[in-house]
Amino acid sequence: MEDIQRREICKRLGLENAIKAHSIVLDGLKNGVQWLRGKRLDAEILTELGYDIHGMERIGYTKLQLREIGYIESNNVIKDTIKPEIEKRTPVTSIESYGQNDIRQLLKTGLNSQQLKQKGYTARHCKDAGLDVRDLLSRGFSLNELIRIYTLGQLKSARCSARDLRGMINESDLGKTFSAREMQSSGFSAKDLVRLNYPHNQIRTAGYSNRELTDAGLMTTTRKR
Rounded alpha-carbon distances, angstroms, from residue 10 to 13, 17, 73: 5, 6, 26
Distance linking the first and last C-alpha atoms of the chain? 69
pLDDT in tens, 174-187: 999 999 999 999 99
Q: Is 1 exposed, middle or buried (0-12, 13-18, 19+ CB in 10 A)?
A: exposed
Q: ∠ CA 211-214-217 to the nearest 5 degrees?
A: 155
Q: What does pTM read for this prediction?
A: 0.54
Q: What residues does 169 pair with on adjacent strands?
A: 166
**Structural domain boundaries in the chain:** 3-91, 93-160, 161-225
Question: Rounded to 5 degrees, what are φ and ψ at 120?
Answer: 95, 10
CB 106 within 8 A of CB 22: no
Assess whether pLDDT exceeds 90 at residue 160.
yes
Return the axis-axis angle of helices 100-107 and 18-31, rounded to nearest 10°: 70
Is the predicted pLDDT of residue 119 greater than 80, yes or no? no
- Secondary structure class of 73 (helix, strand, coil): coil
Q: Can you give the length of the chain in residues?
A: 225
Rg of the chain (C-alpha set): 26
* Range list of β-strands (E), 59-164: none
Summarize pLDDT for 63-117 with one digit per residue, the tens: 888 888 888 753 334 444 333 333 333 344 444 444 566 777 878 888 898 888 8
DSSP 196-222: TT--HHHHHTTT--HHHHHHTT----S
Asked whether 40 and 128 are in contact (CB, 8 A), the reply is: no
Of the listed ranges 13-17, 40-44, 188-192, the least confidently predicted one is 13-17
Q: How far is Cα 55 from Cα 64, in angstroms, rounded to an integer?
A: 15
Residue 166, φ and ψ in degrees, nearest 5: -65, 135
